Amino acid sequence: MSLTTYLRGVCFLARFKEEIIVDAYKNAGAILERAIREGEKLVKPGLPVLDLCEAVESRILEEGAQLAFPCNVSINEVAAHYTSPPEDATLIPQHAIVKIDAGAHIKGYIVDKAVSVATTQELKGLVHAAERALERALEVVKPGVCVSLIGEVIESTIRSSGFRPIINLSGHQIKRYQLHVGKTIPNFNTKNLLDRVKPGEVYAIEPFATDGVGVVVATRDAYIYRVLKPALLPKQLAEQLKKHSSLPFAARWIKGIDRTRLEKLLNHLSKRGVLASYPVLTEKSGGIVAQFETTILVTEKSYIAF
**Positions marked active-site:** 101, 112, 172, 180, 206, 293
Q: What is the CA radius of gyration of the chain?
A: 20
Q: Compose the 200-239 pattern: x for residues touching Mn ion by CB under 5 A, - for all others.
A: ----x-----------------------------------
CA distance 302 to 211: 33
Q: Which stretch binds Mn ion (CB under 5 A): 7-15, 48-56, 95-103, 272-280?
A: 95-103
- CA torsion 48-61-81-52 (nearest 10°) is -10
Least distance CB 73 / Mn ion (angstroms): 12
Least distance CB 204 / Mn ion (angstroms): 4
Could you say whether residue 283 binds Mn ion (CB under 5 A)?
A: no
Chain centroid, CA 89 distance in Å: 24
Q: Which stretch binds Mn ion (CB under 5 A): 97-105, 209-217, 222-230, 254-262?
A: 97-105
Question: Taking Cα atoms as reference points, which of 56, 110, 64, 59 lies closest to residue 295?
Answer: 110
Contacts of 28 (CB under 8 A, 6+ apart): 65, 104, 105, 106, 109, 110, 111, 306
Please provide the distance, in angstroms rounded to a whole number, between the alpha carbons at the two ends of the chain.
Answer: 40
Q: Which is nearer to Mn ion, 76 or 187 (CB)?
A: 187
The DSSP output letter for 117 is E
Q: Compose the 18-57 pattern: x for residues touching Mn ion by CB under 5 A, - for all others.
A: ----------------------------------------
Interacting residues with Mn ion between 241 and 270 (CB under 5 A)? none
Q: Which is nearer to Mn ion, 204 or 227 (CB)?
A: 204
Q: Which is nearer to Mn ion, 112 or 201 (CB)?
A: 112
Least distance CB 93 / Mn ion (angstroms): 22
Residue 109 bridge partners (DSSP): 106
Q: Which is nearer to Mn ion, 85 or 103 (CB)?
A: 103
Least distance CB 184 / Mn ion (angstroms): 10
Least distance CB 176 / Mn ion (angstroms): 16
Least distance CB 68 / Mn ion (angstroms): 9
Q: Which is nearer to Mn ion, 233 or 293 (CB)?
A: 293
Cα–Cα distances (Å) from 216 to 117, 135, 162, 303, in that order, read 20, 23, 19, 30
Q: Which is nearer to Mn ion, 112 or 211 (CB)?
A: 112
CA distance 169 to 176: 22
* DSSP H/E element including 135: helix 124-140
CA distance 14 to 183: 25
Interacting residues with Mn ion between 101 and 120 (CB under 5 A)? 101, 112, 114
Cα–Cα distances (Å) from 124 to 76, 95, 132, 209, 242, in that order, read 12, 11, 12, 12, 41
Q: Which residues bind Mn ion (CB under 5 A)?
A: 101, 112, 114, 204, 293
